[in-house]
Amino acid sequence: MEAILYVLKTVGRPASVIFFLIVIGIGIVLSIVRGNRPVSRWYFGVVFLSYWVFSTPACAERLIQWSGRGFHPLLGAGDARGARVVVVLGAGNRTFQASGSMMSILSWEAVFRALEGARLYHLLDHPTVVVSGGVTSTEKGARPESEAMRDAVVQLGVPPDHVVMESESRNTRDEAFIIRRMLGDLARQPIVLVTSPTHMRRSIAVFQSAGLDPVPSTCAYKSDHSFQSYRWLPTQGALILSDTVAYDTVAWLYYQARGWVPK
């Protein structure tokens, strides 16, 4: 099951090259089958228009706002309800290896989560910051996401002795139950949960089902001042944002089907 899910998560995303090639391949098959040429023209037209629209900043940002509705970053210490633990959820990393040396780099989503975690550390008067994420890559020698996340938040001013790593999890549900175990008696107290806007709804539901009391604080989904011009022209960054919305929407439905979040 995990192998199947990994393949679907890797190739079944609109922004992936394999997904795009599959879409084009279906259109080519339609075009060469006798009697299907009118269908193939409509098919390619819909594909072209869909990729154009969902690759524009104007559409992608609206989708992000819709998906993350009801959640926002904490604005003041009082909003944390006294929480002394900030949990920053993982979002992927890449481990690069060459000539015996190694470096782990966070994904763009994980970078924004690290930035929010560091901001909250200073806002909430130096709480413990839990950075989460195990090895999610199949590459030999891949490192846990939590290691790269720890390095990032330390670089952003969080002292190493205030950072705790959770390096076992492979998905959001794992993170919730492993972190609950790690917190021990602190699990009865509120914790601030940091993740992306599209991921927050599922994360809150899973952490609550694990018996935790999460206070949501969404991170940014883009750099300041980006996507301000040519908002109806396609960009790679906007396509990736739309892809993220699609992924988290399907993941929510999958978690519902497994009974891990309420219907």
Render pLDDT for 252-263 as a digit per residue (tens, 0 to 9).
999 999 999 988
The residue that leads in pLDDT, 165 or 262, is: 165
Contact 206, 255 (CB under 8 A): yes
Query: Residue 6's pLDDT band (boundaries 50, 70, 90)?
Result: low
In DSSP notation, 106-148 reads: E-HHHHHHHHHHHHHHHHTTS-EEEEE------STTPPPHHHH
Helices and strands per DSSP (H, E), number in the chain: 9, 7
Render pLDDT for 195-243 as a digit per residue (tens, 0 to 9).
999 999 999 999 999 999 999 999 999 999 899 889 999 999 999 999 9
Rg (CA), the chain: 20
Query: Residue 12's pLDDT band (boundaries 50, 70, 90)?
Result: confident
Domain extent listing, the chain: 2-67+231-258, 77-218
pLDDT of residue 3: 62
Contact 248, 218 (CB under 8 A): no
Report the pLDDT averaged over residues 1-18.
74
Contact 55, 238 (CB under 8 A): yes
- CATH architecture of the region 77-218: 3-Layer(aba) Sandwich (3.40)
Q: In what order do the strands lie in the sheet with 190-195?
A: 163-166, 128-132, 85-88, 190-195, 213-218
The residue that leads in pLDDT, 34 or 3, is: 34
pLDDT of residue 8: 66
The whole-angstrom separation of Cα 108 and Cα 112 is 7
